[in-house]
Chain A
Amino acid sequence: MHKRGIKQWIVPGVIAASTLIKVAIGLGSYSGHNTPPMFGDYEAQRHWMEITIHLPLKQWYMYDLPYWGLDYPPLTAYVSWLCGIVGHFINSTWVELNKSRGIETAESKVFMRMTVLALDALVYLPALLMFVYTWQGSRSRRTQELSFLTLILQPALLLVDFGHFQYNFVMLGFTILAMNFFATGKDLWGAFFFVLSLGFKQMALYYAPAIGSYLIARCIYLGPVQGLRLLVRLAVVTVSTFLLLFLPWLPPFAGFSDILQPITRIFPFARGLFEDKVANFWCASNVVFKWKTWASSGFLVKVSTTLTALGFLPAVAGLIQSGITHMNVTKSEKTDQKTGQTPFLPLLPYALLTSSMSFFLFSFQVHEKTILLPLLPITLLLSGAPIDSAAYSWGVLVNNVAVFSMWPLLKRDGLGVQYIATLLLWNRMIGYNPVRLPFKSFVQLFSLAVYAAAILLHLLELIFAPPARYPDIFPVLNVLISTPVFFLTWLWSIKCGVEVGWALGGLGRNSNPATASERKATEGTSGTATSGTSLLSANGSGLSYRQSGNRTVSLGHAAAQSSVASALRARASLSPVELLKNRGSGANAGGGAT
């Protein structure tokens, strides 16, 4: 009874503690603090509130473009408008047209930080909670809580949104919501939320290949009749949501050419291949191969587009192929699953990772902050993974390196101590120990090498000033350390995608009937064939496939079911809630709760 009484407080406690951390990060500096005349991202967001509440809608994408002209899709504009109204109500000087530029009073800063916190509570928190309860609905409560903790304290997102100042989590939250609805079989809602994600920040396009091919594969899987019906519905929902978002710039509310205003602002093709130092393929290879002098900008855009497409092709192909494979499963089983999730759902996070990482590595005009997009799927994978799985190792490594890759940006923003604190906190809370012995895999050794290099670089930067000949030596070295990690992660995601695809669908059609019925049996006996408990069925099938000699299903955590319990126990003993849990018996470090 005691334990149960404590348990219900864990999620509220985690939410409260994370809120505390977010507010505390907000104490620090932000992008462009005290750097007139342009300031930074903080000023951009505030400026958008200013112009949206003071100007008619038609001018939103036209007004004084050189000074942080609006270049995000309409949902951002609408949200800015709402925040602006609230700000105007509290203190009109915060968002006064033109006069408020670069305003940095303590109160206005608090207001801006609070808008981030409020949107976080409205979109991202519910999305994460729902993710934990749908995608990990069948896992133990403790796993769900740990997974929630892992996601909510993700350092890169905390630093960029609550420190540097942006609203990325709104876009990411909508994408997670889309994934949640896909997992529960509500594809139309999923499509709707993904369009919202795109409508908030065009960067969500990095996910589009994966989401699109997932939905197409789903249509294929459902067969000609139902599939076609779903396809039409999806098209209607997607198109009408887009139309709604862009309505003010469309006829009859505007002229035909007016739609070009937001579009040209949102997609600026005129910029170069890359601007700052960013840990992707182009910037890293630029060290030895000066792309910009070698080829014309137009040609480079074509090359980068091709490379990006090739980069996410495996994910697209994997999903479509799974759709085709599973279409041939016997009809009776399919009707069972009509309302539930698709069997190849576990592929989705890997596909998202492959797709977004390929954009990050190969597409043009990438910012260092864009690493947040690939980080989302891999952190989702990591969140439920046992401590000795590959997904865990890769997930932690990529997360840490992503934060490291943003170090030049964070340093410029004056967020050094926040950088240390959030990394420290998150790694501790998820129970990560990079020097845990013995080394079991390549990724552990690799991680150690990367960390050593990163720490060495930090020390060098602390002790030595950069030589006059190479003022950018430290950012470049940072890129050279980070890029290989991201590149390998991309390869790893493709590999996992292929593995999971094999495990789910088998190599050929022949192997299907037997294993499918076997899986059905597993589901039946475990009594979890409800739509809410999606992943256990995947786990169950993973086991049965392994028994039948195929590759293991791995959603990061689905493999090695037998070791899950022990691994959980290991993680549990590291959990922050252990103190509370322990008080009952005083002796049991987690065994009792599993």
Chain B
Amino acid sequence: MDEDGPQAQASLKKSTSMNSIKSSESTGSIGFSKSWLSWDILPSEWDIFWLSTALKLLLFPSYRSTDFEVHRNWLAITHTLPMSKWYYDTTSEWTLDYPPFFAYFEKFLSIPASLIDPKIVDLNNLNYDAWSVIAYQRSTVILTELVLGIVLLKFIRGSVEPPIQRIVSASIFLHPGFLIVDHIHFQYNGFMYGILLWSILMARNGNKLASGILFAVLLNFKHIYMYLAPAYFVYLLRSFCLSPTGQIHIKNFLSLANAVITVFVVSLGPFALMGQIPQLLSRLFPFTRGLNHAYWAPNFWALVTATDRVLLKYAQLTGAEITINESGVASSSRGLVGDTVFAVLPNVKPVHTFVITIVFQLIWLFKLWRNPTYKSFLTALTLSGWTSFLFGWHVHEKAVLLVLIPLSLLAAERQAYFRTFVLASVAGVFSLFPLIFTPTESIIKVIYSTIWIAAVYIPISRRVYEYPKSITYVIMDTLEKVYLAGFPLLFLFVSAFPLMRIQQPSVTNVATSLETCVSADPLDISCPEPLATVVQSTPGVSALEFLPLMATSIYCAVGLVWSFMRLGFIYLHEESTYQGQLSEIK
């Protein structure tokens, strides 16, 4: 964190000066207000900033998941313990399991925290929830998110069509995913995605070295971005280290390699010297989890699992001659918890998910290798993350941001991209809804997401609309609209279902069960078993109990899988059919 400062700042400055020239040309007629507070920022952009900041401030007292305590605990660990003990401490169950840069970041944040209220950084002060720590941690989320805001502004300044990019930038800054996951649930995704977008911005501006360095930095903040690494690797190798004819640029290659190695040395070096790398890795990659997360992430495996359940029901009802795995029957009666074992379909092992992911990745990477432009890189990056999300082992619903954020940058390109973006965003954001289950916050998440999608849809759809060209497209268009129209119905079902169940006693409240579940899910830790036992004790009920969650997961998975296929198709036909404004960037 500290080490990337100077370099990063230098590149930021460079791009500022470069873009300010461009923007003053392209937006000369706007007439900036000469108020003392404006640094080349339009009033409308300030409006968005203040509006969202006010809302985020109002969300201070909202529901917090245990991620809040996780991060508070990390403040305490990094503040009170020497570095050598960071990855060994087990005072709290929420041990440090992010890469070192994030630990440094927490160390940095813990300094003001200790001045504001020393109890925040007290290692044994578990589940501390005084107003001081809430206000402090929530503020740090808002403040670090400024990185995202600034980067998104820079995106507008040098873009091909600033008005369109302004909408796209605003849509990312105001993304419901960030509101739900960061400002209610509590995480630092805004900051992380700020770095990611910064890196993408550098790629767009042609500064590929900076792009690579920033991505390396990002990886050392949170390792989930490894999902995107293949696209980065191919893109930088092909377009930065090799000439178009295939000759290697030794100088570029060495500078990139050295820079990336330096980043990793700064991050991991101290721990390597202490011989703690195995311990660190075991914290980062705990391989002891099931195929599906507690609440199925809306991916391919959710569909497969659902198919298995349907087939099992079919077999049980008709007595069809299908070999049934008995442990799979037990697994299916356990709702959504624990390791997933199929009853009818062959079981899935990590290696299977790995192979499928690799195969799909290779398609996009091959295409990227042949056409290493910015737009191609962006699409491949999105598809790369998307592939991992759909086919990965034990994927989290929150990882859908990995798809939605880069995809947003493509949203206004053409009607085809836009429709993909709308489908994926609606499904993806809806799939995040179960994270927030307290009543007032639920109202907020729904209203906010609705406003957001309307505010993005209305202006962009007018801009990019194209008539469906053939009967196939008309049918597809209609089906997609029907699918989107299903979301309000799904929402009605999901919210009405618990109310109907309340009438019947002896049913554990969905909200409370879910609470146990979600609260045990800081980052990548699966649900603890106690819930499973609760559910097992009433097997007949449990299947219904989780019906809303299952329905949400499956319905969203349909949209995400379909829009994934859409984007994949578009990508493979990009050069011939789907040229847009981003194609102008070389």
Residues on A close to B: CB < 8 A? Answer: 2, 5-6, 9, 13, 16-17, 19-21, 23-29, 106-107, 109-110, 113, 417-418, 420-422, 424-425, 428-429, 431, 433, 435-436, 573-576, 578-580, 582-589
Contact = CB atoms under 8 A, between A and B. Distances in A.
B163 A582 contact: yes
B108 to A, nearest CB: 24
Nearest to B60: A417
A27 B57 CA distance: 11
Contacts of B440: 23, 26-27, 109-110, 113
A422 B163 CA distance: 29
A573 B45 CA distance: 11
Contacts of A5: 458, 462
B54 interface: yes
A13 B51 contact: no
B439 A27 contact: no
Given A13-B451, A17-B451, A574-B47, A579 B462 contact: no
A417 B459 contact: no
A79 B48 CA distance: 37
B462 A589 contact: no
Contacts of B36: 435
Contacts of B58: 21, 24-25, 27-28, 417-418, 421
B521 to A, nearest CB: 21
Contacts of B163: 582-587
Contacts of A435: 36
B517 to A, nearest CB: 18
A27 B61 contact: yes
Contacts of B455: 13, 580
Contacts of A424: 50, 53-54, 57
Nearest to A420: B57
A578 B31 CA distance: 14
Given A5-B458, A23-B444, A578 B61 contact: no
Contacts of B135: 417
B31 A589 contact: yes
A370 B47 CA distance: 31
B51 to A, nearest CB: 6
B110 to A, nearest CB: 22
Given A425-B54, A573-B33, A578 B43 contact: yes
A436 B43 contact: no
B166 interface: yes
A5 B463 CA distance: 12
Given A579-B166, A586-B162, A20 B444 contact: yes
Nearest to B28: A587
Contacts of B447: 16, 19-20, 23
B interface majority secondary structure? helix
B30 interface: yes
Contacts of A574: 33, 43, 46-47
B54 A29 contact: no
What 10 pairs between A and B have smallest CB-CB spacing? A586-B163, A578-B44, A425-B54, A24-B58, A421-B57, A428-B50, A576-B47, A421-B54, A110-B439, A579-B44
A566 to B, nearest CB: 12
B167 A579 contact: yes
Interface string B440-464: 1101100110110011001100110
A80 to B, nearest CB: 22
B491 to A, nearest CB: 16
B55 interface: yes
A39 to B, nearest CB: 18
Contact of B451 (A20, A27, A425, A436): A20
A496 to B, nearest CB: 29
B1 interface: no
Contacts of B31: 573, 589
A420 B142 CA distance: 15
A106 B27 CA distance: 50
Contact of B51 (A26, A429, A588): A429
B62 A27 contact: yes
26 contacts: A6-B459, A16-B451, A21-B58, A24-B444, A27-B58, A27-B441, A107-B439, A417-B57, A418-B58, A421-B58, A424-B50, A425-B50, A425-B54, A428-B51, A429-B51, A435-B36, A576-B44, A576-B48, A578-B47, A579-B167, A580-B458, A583-B164, A586-B27, A586-B161, A586-B164, A587-B30
Centre residue among B33, B47, B58, B440 by max chain A CB count within 10 A = B58
Nearest to B43: A574
A589 B458 contact: no
A20 B161 CA distance: 31
B247 interface: no
Nearest to B463: A583
B59 A24 contact: yes
Nearest to B139: A417
Interface in B12-49: 27-31, 33, 35-36, 42-48
A29 B438 CA distance: 16
Interface string B535-565: 0000000000000000000000000000000
Nearest to A91: B502
B418 to A, nearest CB: 14
Interface string B57-87: 1111110000000000000000000000000
Given A107-B439, A574-B47, A20 B57 contact: no
Given A6-B459, A13-B454, A578-B44, A425 B166 contact: no
A13 B458 CA distance: 12
Centre residue among B27, B45, B443, B454 by max chain A CB count within 10 A = B443
B170 interface: yes
A436 B48 CA distance: 21
A225 B34 CA distance: 59
Given A21-B54, A436-B35, A588-B30, A583 B448 contact: no
A425 B51 contact: yes
Interface string B159-173: 001111011001000
Contacts of A113: 440
A128 B164 CA distance: 33
A19 B444 CA distance: 9
Contact of A16 (B48, B54, B450): B450
Given A583-B166, A584-B163, 4 more contacts: A431-B43, A578-B42, A583-B463, A587-B29
Contacts of B51: 17, 425, 428-429, 576
A588 B35 CA distance: 18
Contacts of A418: 57-58
Nearest to A584: B163
B505 to A, nearest CB: 15
A487 to B, nearest CB: 31
Contacts of B441: 27
Contacts of A583: 163-164, 166-167, 459, 463
Contacts of A26: 440
A375 to B, nearest CB: 20
A433 B37 CA distance: 10
B10 to A, nearest CB: 31
Contacts of A578: 42-44, 47
A9 B35 contact: no
A230 to B, nearest CB: 45
A92 to B, nearest CB: 13
A582 B43 contact: no
A28 B61 contact: yes
Nearest to B46: A428
A343 to B, nearest CB: 38
Interface in B461-477: 462-463
Contacts of B44: 573, 575-576, 578-579, 582
Contact of A20 (B45, B55, B166): B55
B448 A20 contact: yes
B220 to A, nearest CB: 33
B569 to A, nearest CB: 28
